[in-house]
Amino acid sequence: MGEVMRLRSLLCGVVLVGMAGEACAADLSDTLLRGSQTVISAPGGTRWDGFYVGGQAGGAWSGTDFSGATQSLVAFLLRNTTIETEDNVSKWTALGKYSANGVSYGAFFGWQKQFDDAVIGLEGNYNRTSLSAAASDSMRRLFSTSDGYNNDVTVIATSQIHITDYGTIRLKGGWAIDCFMPYGFIGVAIGRADVTSSAEVIASGTDPTGVKPPYSFDQTKTNAVTGALAYGYTAGFGVDYAVFQNFFVRGEYEYVGFGAFNDLKTRIQTARVAAGLKF
């Protein structure tokens, strides 16, 4: 008889715990997760509609192709010459690819609209950074030209870039999963950098027949631009997490590819964290 009473008591306890759990869930849904300006709602979880703004910081890695850095300078120095016309000295690849890393920080703002679980939006991003890379090398060739000269030509090239900041406008698409929203994006980018390039051409030639006099040539040209602009594209992915009603945090990866900063093709990869407020 005592065992039957204990069994009944245990069953009553389980029922009471279950009822308490349901009541707690109902309270959370109706009380904590509902409001005129809250992000959370009982039927659909987090709502991501509206405007938002935030700040961000992370690590950045850049890669720059310097192969075309001094081509226009060499072409100008050797304009109207046989060695340029026949051997394309300005096309020589004296410099290669170099990378740099640093930090970036900035701000973002945007607007998005939720349809069931799908979320689309438009976002603007600005990032301040300090990514510097430099390259220096030379190339020498011996060749003959149709004018009868045996030529000895050396190109000495140097170039450096310092990326200061860049901004993006991105089309964003995500999927709401409770408090999480993974997303991807594509868009356009504009960047600013300080670029300095210099080329020295040293050339000499002799006529094996001795009919024509020997020649020698040694000239340098430098081009320095502060605040050079370049346009490009951006793509990446991330996840937003709603911590409180109108406060969220973010983890994100972004790739930005630029056309050219004064003949320097550059790309930037960034891994960042962020926090934002939703209105």
Q: How many domains does the chain have?
A: 1
**What CATH number does residue 130 fall under?**
2.40.160.20
Q: Give the range among 21-25, 176-180, 193-197, 203-207 with minimum mean pLDDT.
A: 21-25
191 neighbors 260 (Cβ within 8 angstroms):
no
Q: 115-127 pLDDT, tens per residue?
A: 999 999 999 999 9
Q: What is the pTM of this model?
A: 0.79
Percentages of the chain per state (helix, strand, coil), in multiples of 5: 15, 65, 20
The mean pLDDT of 8-20, rounded to a whole number, is 37
Scanning 125-244, the segments in alpha helix (DSSP H) are none
Q: 163-193 pLDDT, tens per residue?
A: 999 999 999 999 999 899 999 999 999 999 9
Give domain status of residue 201, yes or no. yes
Give domain status of residue 128, yes or no. yes
Cα 147 from chain centroid? 49
> Which pLDDT belongs to residue 100?
94
Tell me which residue range forms the domain holding 161: 49-278
Give domain status of residue 32, yes or no. no
> Which pLDDT belongs to residue 179?
94
Distance (Å, whole) CA 3 – CA 5: 5
Give domain status of residue 155, yes or no. yes
